[in-house]
A and B are shown apart, each in its own frame.
Chain A
Amino acid sequence: MAIQTLTRNIFDVKDLNLWYGDHHALKGVYFPIQKKEVTAMIGPSGCGKSTFLKTLNLMNKMIPNVKITGEVNFAGQNILHSKTDLVELRKHVGMVFQKGNPFPQSIYDNVAYGPRIHGIKKKKHLDELVIKALMDVALWNEVKDRLNAPALGLSGGQQQRLCIARALATKPDVLLMDEPTSALDPISTLKIEELIFELKEKYTIVIVTHNMQQAARVSDRTAFFLMGELIEFAETSKIFSTPKDSRTEDYITGRFG
């Protein structure tokens, strides 16, 4: 899969509908995602934002009774096509979850896991990838003397940064983040947010968050979902100063949701 697009959009989602059994979870969503930007998705629980996120690397294809229609064009190809290579897709579209979930292995092996799966065996090459990924997440200085120590011995914030490093080690183009700081203390949260700001130099980031202030702080564009519909999608500065839809205003000002 060649990651070259002529437009600024790395994802171009058109008329996306998704059902979990009879439940219509995403309703006709059109959503372009621009390269090397941070796109945030906000909305009350059950609005479809996480479902949408998981569609971008087809994580929800594994769920029974899921039906997806429409187009999710990534780098010019509709990934909903049955021939999509999921391993290859997820190499390009990495994901980080709510809680740091390192494997019960060493710090080094956690980061080297993805590259090894993709066939990289030479120690020197793996070393380079591991160091670079740990530097990218500003964890290198904290762990360089204990790379063989168990990853589960790290603090919560460090574990989450390690998981981001693990996702970066396969050199993805896009990083999906599903509430990456909801289990962290405020300072660890701010560290991750600062990291997101730095990572967008190299990566496209799509983040789901329950924390509206976080969306306001870290993202370039914000999408507001409600009951499976994309209500409003605009520059974050517009969403948080002059939203067009009254439902968006009500949500961001805490008047419902």
Chain B
Amino acid sequence: MNTRANFDQSLQELKTLQLKMAGEAETAVKNAMLSLLNRDVELANKVINGDHLIDDLEYEIHEKALMLIARQSPVAKDLRRLHVALKVSSEVERLGDIAVNIAKSTVQIGNEQHVKELIDIPQMMEVALEMLTDAITAFYSEDPALAKKCAQKDDQVDKMFGELVQELLTYIPKNPDFTNQIIQLAYVCRYIERIADHATNIAENIVYLETGKRYNLND
């Protein structure tokens, strides 16, 4: 007889909800990136208008997690699991906001030709997306090794961010008519860098869930 079958089922439902939220945010981030690369304003608007679904899921997760804390007297890993549910859902909600920010930059740029062929930005996006996917997979499988591996890529993204922004700023004097676009692209680089940070934070929470120890994986 499983003496906590009811609680275990509630925890599983909570995890399913978290994975649903993470999936929605991952899709929003991907679509926002695609909208920028393809100058697809329609897709960008879809991302902007869909963000409330992610916000609603965060609210639902917080309500469920708090109720389980109030009613089920969780301790040890059960307690960490609920703490992590609250923390990770807030990280994921921020990812949704970042997707909206990227989508808004797409709208700002509109149909305007890109000032140069976008090569480095997609590469940076790819690394950040890999990190995000790894973080979500590590969360699904509760795998601290994968979480740590995910976080190791953060330095790479930070480095790309620094270099890209420097490069973008050099375009402004040569292409003053494209100043708005260049600033938007610099913003986008900043947003991508933040995606990697949030993926790292999710990874840190997975390590905490499994080990009970706090690691700063950004070091």
Contacts and interface: CB of A to CB of B under 8 A. Distances in A.
B174 interface: no
Query: What interface size band does chain B fall in?
Result: 10 to 19
A240 B1 CA distance: 27
Interface residues of A, number: 14
B1 A217 contact: no
Contacts of A240: 70-71
Interface of B: 1-7, 66-67, 70-73
Contacts of B70: 216, 237, 240-241
26 contacts: A138-B1, A187-B3, A190-B3, A190-B4, A193-B3, A194-B1, A194-B2, A194-B4, A194-B5, A194-B6, A197-B5, A197-B6, A213-B73, A216-B70, A216-B71, A216-B72, A216-B73, A217-B6, A217-B72, A217-B73, A236-B71, A237-B67, A237-B70, A240-B70, A241-B66, A241-B70
Contacts of B1: 138, 191, 194
A4 B3 CA distance: 33
Nearest to A195: B1
Interface of A: 138, 187, 190-191, 193-194, 197, 213, 216-217, 236-237, 240-241
B8 to A, nearest CB: 10
A217 B73 CA distance: 8
Given A237-B67, A241-B66, A241-B67, A194 B3 contact: yes
Contacts of B5: 194, 197
A41 B200 CA distance: 46
B78 to A, nearest CB: 13
Nearest to B5: A194
A177 B73 CA distance: 22
A193 to B, nearest CB: 8
A237 B71 contact: yes
A216 B72 CA distance: 7
Nearest to B1: A138
Nearest to B66: A241
Given A217-B73, A237-B67, 18 more contacts: A138-B1, A190-B3, A191-B1, A194-B2, A194-B3, A194-B4, A194-B6, A197-B5, A197-B6, A216-B70, A216-B71, A216-B72, A217-B6, A217-B7, A236-B71, A237-B70, A240-B70, A241-B70
Nearest to A213: B73
A197 B66 CA distance: 20
Contacts of A191: 1, 3
A193 B1 CA distance: 12
B73 to A, nearest CB: 5
Nearest to A237: B67
